[in-house]
Structure 1
Amino acid sequence: MTNGTRADLRELFHKGQLTIGISELSRMTGVSPRQLRYWQKKGYIIPKNEDEPGQARVYTMKMVIKAAAMSNLLQTGYTLKAAAAQVDERMRPAQTIYHLLADRYQGYEVADNGQILVDLGPFDPQPDQELFVKLVGDKVKFELKDKQE
């Protein structure tokens, strides 16, 4: 059986790992840099490095998605405030899933039969057990295993 570590997923999906500058964000969304700076001033988009005055603005993929979605909604007649609120609401489920996975993901195991078991850490009602999830065909199945010390 082979194992993957928690760092595997975190390295791929770490918040803020992939960033772009304001010029790239402008090109990707069709929103002028001036307008993006206004959105930032209003608090609708936030650069990753907002705590570093004097540095060029860089944006995470989350802000890229938000800015693109806001731009699309503005083109359909939404106000800026309404577009930002709508995008925030639409992004909530994805953010919840991201946080759940980032918090619970401990790594993975590949069994001798090739089955991938994703380790979700201690099973809260039974902390001496580890919770794993796997795909069997197209069905999600959970499995409890004795905690490895």
Structure 2
Amino acid sequence: MANGTRADLVGLFHKDQLTIGISELSRMTGVSPRQLRYWQKKGYIIPKNEDEPGKPRIYTMRMVIKAAAMSNLLQTGYTLKAAAAQVDERMRPAQTMYHVIFDRYEGFEVTDDGELLVNLGTFDPDPSQQLFAKMVNGEVKFEIKHK
């Protein structure tokens, strides 16, 4: 049986892995660095290293997407506050999916007969069991196994 670890997937897709500086963020979004600093001051965008004063700001891809979407909404007439709220609401499903996938994922197993089982960790109602997901005829199915 082959196995994959949580680190395998998280290492590939970790949301904080890809970062850019404020100059690059400005170029990508068309928003001036001064305006981006104002958005940060207001709490609408948050640099990854916000707890390191004096260091150049770096932003995650999530903040890049948020800043770009806010810029687009501002151009269509939204206020800054309304644009930030709208983007947060639009990003909410994606953030939830990210957490469902990455917070629960503990690895995968390939059984001797070639079936791929995605380990989603402890089954909440019964800690002695683990929850697995698998594809059966193009549909996601779940399986519970004892630890």
Settle same-fold status: TM greater than 0.5.
yes
TM-score of the two chains, using structure 2 as the length reference: 0.92
- 2:99 — aligned with what? 99
- 2:108 — aligned with what? 108
Report which stretch shifted further, 60-69 or 3-12.
3-12
Query: Matched residues in 2 for 1:81 and 1:56: separation?
Result: 25
Query: Matched residues in 1 for 2:76 and 2:45: separation?
Result: 20
Matches within 5 A, 1:43-54: 43-54=43-54
SS in 1 for 2:45: coil
SS in 2 for 1:16: coil
Question: What 5-or-longer segments of structure 1 have no aligned partner?
Answer: none
Query: Matched residues in 2 for 1:102 and 1:138: separation?
Result: 22
- 1:134 — aligned with what? 134
- 1:64 — aligned with what? 64
Query: Matched residues in 2 for 1:54 and 1:23: separation?
Result: 16
Q: Deviations over 1:83-110 (max 9, x none)?
A: 0000111111111222222221110112
Query: Matched residues in 2 for 1:71 and 1:136: separation?
Result: 43
Query: Matched residues in 1 for 2:19 and 2:124: separation?
Result: 35
- 2:90 — aligned with what? 90
Query: Matched residues in 1 for 2:15 and 2:53: separation?
Result: 21
Change (3 A) 1:29 1:113: farther
Question: What 5-or-longer segments of structure 2 have no aligned partner?
Answer: none
- Partner AA of 1:36 in structure 2: L
TM-score of the two chains, using structure 1 as the length reference: 0.91
> How far did 1:146 drift?
2.1
User: How well do the aligned residues superpose, as a CA RMSD in angstroms?
Assistant: 1.4
SS in 2 for 1:31: coil
Query: Matched residues in 1 for 2:125 and 2:33: separation?
Result: 51
SS in 1 for 2:20: strand
SS in 2 for 1:128: strand
Identity, % of aligned positions: 80
Q: What count of residue pairs does the alignment treat as equivalent?
A: 147
Q: Deviations over 1:111-136 (max 9, x none)?
A: 33433211011112232221100122
Query: Matched residues in 1 for 2:115 and 2:25: separation?
Result: 40
